[in-house]
């Protein structure tokens, strides 16, 4: 599965686009956990202290924020989908 990182998250992972091998049908949560296994510094951006998906970074699947999908973090991913991990925007 292809994942793209944006803004400050690129510094953590060392680039923009990566292929992450996952089993067919894994959930968004499984995917986020795999990202943290590969890049432990992502934990503070992807998960709260209680273990829930954080709002510090948004995960998009094919351009849709998973928070607004019916199954949210339980959404199943399929090979060929594009996943983006984007930190919140700030500025004035």
Domain count for the chain: 1
pLDDT digits (tens, 9 = 90+) for 14-46: 999 998 888 877 999 999 999 999 999 999 999
| Helix intervals (H) in the chain | 8-13, 28-38, 43-46
Instruction: Note whether residue 8 is domain-resident.
Output: yes
Q: Which structural domain, as residue segments, surrounds residue 68?
A: 2-86
- Whether the CB-CB separation of 53 and 59 falls below 8 Å is answered with yes
Instruction: Note whether residue 24 is domain-resident.
Output: yes
Instruction: Note whether residue 92 is domain-resident.
Output: no
Instruction: Note whether residue 91 is domain-resident.
Output: no
Instruction: Note whether residue 40 is domain-resident.
Output: yes
Instruction: Note whether residue 14 is domain-resident.
Output: yes
Confidence grade of residue 89 (pLDDT, cut at 50, 70, 90): confident
- Whether the CB-CB separation of 83 and 3 falls below 8 Å is answered with yes
Instruction: Note whether residue 53 is domain-resident.
Output: yes
Assign residue 15 the CATH number of its domain: 3.10.20.30
pLDDT digits (tens, 9 = 90+) for 1-11: 889 999 999 99
């Amino acid at each position: 599965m292809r994942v793209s990182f944006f803004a400050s998250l690129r510094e953590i992972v060392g680039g923009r686009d990566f292929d992450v091998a996952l089993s067919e049908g894994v959930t968004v949560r499984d995917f986020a956990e795999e990202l943290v296994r590969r890049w432990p510094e992502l934990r503070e951006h992807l998960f709260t202290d209680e273990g829930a998906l954080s709002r510090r970074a948004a995960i998009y699947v094919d351009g849709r924020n998973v928070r607004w999908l019916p199954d949210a973090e339980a959404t199943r991913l399929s090979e060929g989908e594009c996943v983006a991990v984007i930190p919140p925007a700030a500025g004035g």
